[in-house]
A and B are shown apart, each in its own frame.
Chain A
Amino acid sequence: MEDRIVQFIAGLRAAGVRVSLAESQDAAQATLHIGITDRAMFKSALSATLIKEKKDVPIFEKLFPLYFSMGVPPLIPVGGQLTPEQQALLRAAMRALIGELSDLVQRLMAGKQLSREEMERLAKMIRSDRSNRPEDIPRLTRQMLQKMGMGDLMEQIETLLQQLAEMGMTREALDQIRQELESNAQNLERQVNQFLGQSLADRLTEQPPQKGEPDLMDRHFGSLSESEIKELRHEVARLAARLRSRIALRQKKGDGKIFDAKTTMRENIRHGGVPFEMHWKKKRLKPKFALICDMSESMRDVIEFMLRLMYELHDQVSRARSFGFYDHLEDVTDEFSSNRPDEAIIYVKRRFPYRPYGTDLGFCLADFFHTYMDAIDHRTTVIFLGDGRNNYNDPRLDLVQDLTRRARKVVWFNPESNYEWGSGDSDMLKYQPLVSTVHQVSNLRQLAEAVDKLFS
């Protein structure tokens, strides 16, 4: 049994679950305390000691039955319950049909199990070692049984039973024989299933641990499916928590350099004015942001995640205003503050109906200068979220220059990859020298790092 557990752990590791040596020892000890008689408890014990993360639970569920399958009842010879005359009838019928009954039926009648070599031979015939996924096992089982003649089984059973009926077998006896034959067939199928499961388990154990698929966080926004985007949305909260602790740590490290006389005196009144506790100045100015987002179709996912992150971090931000631009500029702060980000995006997009070759950042910047300059002061960081493509319109670099003078910092988040900047109608390379930094944000990880840098 311990060997089996060790093999199971090797299989888990091969599937990407990180199981440490201490945990494998825990699992062995747990087995001693729990025992192996109750399968459910044994499974819980292994799960509690080996699986420490929610995302590993499906892998555990998939692999556990492969390594620790329940015993399959053996095949029994058919007709053991019949009277001697009936048994004699049965034998006579078998002899009569000897040419017609397949090997499989004879085997089922005799209750002969499949030996290991026979199963291995069949498995080789259907090349079962080509597949390494537990999901394929039902299909492979069917293939193996087909090779043994399972397709004709029903017909042949009927033929046999008819023969027996003609020879005068009673109704009950016939039913019993049919039942026993069917149960034997089922058990045979289960045996094959189990065999395939175990050989898969052995193969997995010998395999070296595979490199998993690239993490969702590293996948390009445009390549994600709807369900993957849903998953990422859940991740955003945890990402924000990580960012928040990083920001807090940074602030804590920056504290404590300048003596704060007022707070020290106030806090030491209870010590009679004797300065037992020293207090230092804490720098707690929260940043202000102005987001200017490109509202074209390709930017939807990036904007949604950016705004989600901003929302999650809103307690670290003094004030954030959002503007959407396409062929004109509009203030969209209210939309995003009152609705969920994915719904807000839909409402906002309605305010920017599609026009071919519509994007014109220069024109929108002029609009911005005209109407919304009050959003920018010396503490504000301006964030442009766009691909810098203007359909060959005037990029208005002078206005961007003006902006950099007024605001504390201007950064650009561009979801396109580096080598695409400047290609076609992209004015990115013209904007790049004017702004403080340009970050590439094609996947969530890059977006999170860029947001992190904003707070430093």
Chain B
Amino acid sequence: MFKSTTDVIDCLGEQDYIATNEIGTVLFLAERLNKPVLAEGPAGVGKTELAKAWSAASGRELIRLQCYEGLDETKALYEWEYAKQMLYTQLLRDKLQTLLSDSQSLAQAADRLAAEEDVFFSQRFLLARPLLKAITSEKPVTLLIDEIDRTDAEFEAFLLEVLSDFQVSVPEIGTIKAKTQPLVLLTSNNTRELSEALKRRCVYLFIDYPTLEAELKIVRLKVPNLAPELAKQAVDLVQKLRRLDLKKNPSVSETIDWAKALVLLNAKTLDKETLENTLTILLKHEADVQRARTSMQREEQQQRRRPPDLDDGSFSGNIKPIKRI
């Protein structure tokens, strides 16, 4: 249990994750109020990283459920291992025969078999998927449900049911209740509206692209070999790129990759050539690369055209100063 918001932020810092005050407050609240966290934001700002850091900071194991279109209960909750059951049936055929050999009628044989049913529909043949693993875990865990906006409404409704009570009923076995409450983190890229019921259930956290200072701190932390001056220039450029109307804004992970690339290339300054060669690490669409190039060219032209600072009092222009008589 974290003691306070600052405690959360410090522990996350120990895991090399730079958290804002808001993130710290929300995570602290989520644990105290026993509610899942819904983290929304553009791709690549560190939502999944947050889950990893949070689980490490609270000493829990991380169980991850990656969502996609068409994800259903079997892939998320549990599945029966048919193949294993078939195999056991085949191998135990002889034993079965001896067991049922002394039954007089078909009904008796069926009853006898029904008594042994529990063998074939037991925990032995149950394939636990992430959700069930999280529920049946002996030690406390963190459950990360990644990109929930890629699933459909049916899965959301099912998830809501599981998240409310943290118990699952398997018809053949019975109801399985969670022994410990997992910490749940849901991430979404906001590609579609999530259902109201799910949102009400969670504590909401919106993670946006970081500010200049925050991003600089992150780069200095993750890529310590990069010269501070160069790091500042790099982060400046990325912040500028985000203000252009690009198809896909460069994310924090791409900034870190770029910084690592600069270190590998032994770049001393951010000159035109280095930029040209490495721009594709930041921008993944050809159209965006073109836009960035044109914008940088335009800026260069503006710089060149701007007249030098006139602080020597001299006059430069078309109008001649009137001579005082």
A residues near B, CB below 8 A? 18, 20, 22-23, 26, 29-30, 33-34, 40-41, 44-45, 47-49, 51-54, 57, 237-238, 241-242, 245, 248-249, 270-272, 276, 339-340
Contacts and interface: CB of A to CB of B under 8 A. Distances in A.
Given A44-B25, A52-B200, A248 B69 contact: yes
B5 A238 contact: no
A44 B192 contact: no
A243 to B, nearest CB: 10
Most chain A beta-carbon neighbours within 10 Å: one of B190, B206, B287: B206
14 contacts: A26-B203, A33-B32, A34-B5, A44-B21, A44-B26, A48-B25, A49-B203, A52-B199, A52-B202, A54-B40, A238-B190, A241-B191, A241-B192, A248-B69
Contacts of A29: 33
B311 interface: no
B7 interface: no
Contacts, number: 78
A178 to B, nearest CB: 34
B39 to A, nearest CB: 11
A52 B25 contact: no
A47 B38 CA distance: 13
Interface in B169-227: 190-193, 196, 199-200, 202-206
Nearest to B204: A52
Interface in B77-121: 82-83, 86
B299 to A, nearest CB: 21
Nearest to B37: A48
A427 B82 CA distance: 64
Given A34-B5, A44-B25, A272-B86, A52 B38 contact: yes
B136 to A, nearest CB: 26
A34 B35 CA distance: 15
Contacts of A44: 21-22, 25-26
A243 B28 CA distance: 37
B126 interface: no
A248 B203 CA distance: 30
B71 interface: no
Given A48-B25, A51-B204, A249-B152, A26 B33 contact: yes
Given A245-B153, A276-B86, 8 more contacts: A30-B29, A30-B33, A48-B204, A52-B200, A238-B190, A241-B191, A270-B83, A271-B86
Given A48-B204, A49-B29, A54-B206, A245 B152 contact: yes
A33 B82 contact: no
Contacts of B204: 47-49, 51-52
B144 to A, nearest CB: 18
B152 A238 contact: no
B152 A248 contact: yes
A3 B244 CA distance: 44
B83 A57 contact: no
B90 to A, nearest CB: 8
A230 B288 CA distance: 17
A271 B192 contact: no
Given A52-B38, A249-B152, A41 B192 contact: no
A33 B191 contact: no
Interface in B239-291: 247, 287
Nearest to B82: A276
Contact of A23 (B22, B26, B200): B200
Contacts of A47: 22, 204
B29 A34 contact: yes
Contacts of A238: 190-193
Contact of A20 (B40, B86, B200): B200
A412 B86 CA distance: 57
Contacts of B192: 238, 241-242, 245
A18 B197 CA distance: 12
B8 to A, nearest CB: 11
A241 B149 CA distance: 10
Contacts of B26: 44, 48
Contacts of A270: 83
Contacts of B21: 40-41, 44
A26 B199 CA distance: 13
Contacts of B25: 34, 41, 44-45, 48
A248 B202 CA distance: 28
A303 B47 CA distance: 37
Q: Which 4 A-B pairs have the closest CB atoms?
A: A44-B25, A52-B199, A241-B192, A48-B26
Residue among A30, A270, A271 with the highest chain B CB neighbour number at 10 A: A30
Contacts of B153: 245
Contacts of B83: 270-271
Nearest to A340: B287
A33 B29 contact: yes
B35 A26 contact: yes
B194 to A, nearest CB: 9
A241 B40 CA distance: 17
A30 B193 CA distance: 25
Nearest to A22: B200
Contacts of B38: 52
A237 B191 contact: yes
Contacts of B205: 48
B236 to A, nearest CB: 25
Nearest to B205: A48
Contacts of A45: 25, 29
Contacts of B33: 26, 29-30, 33
Contacts of B191: 237-238, 241
Contacts of B35: 26
Contacts of A23: 200
B184 to A, nearest CB: 15
A20 B29 CA distance: 18
Interface string B1-33: 000010000000000000001100110110011
A238 B199 CA distance: 17
- Among A34, A270, A339, the most chain B Cβ lie within 10 Å of the Cβ of A34
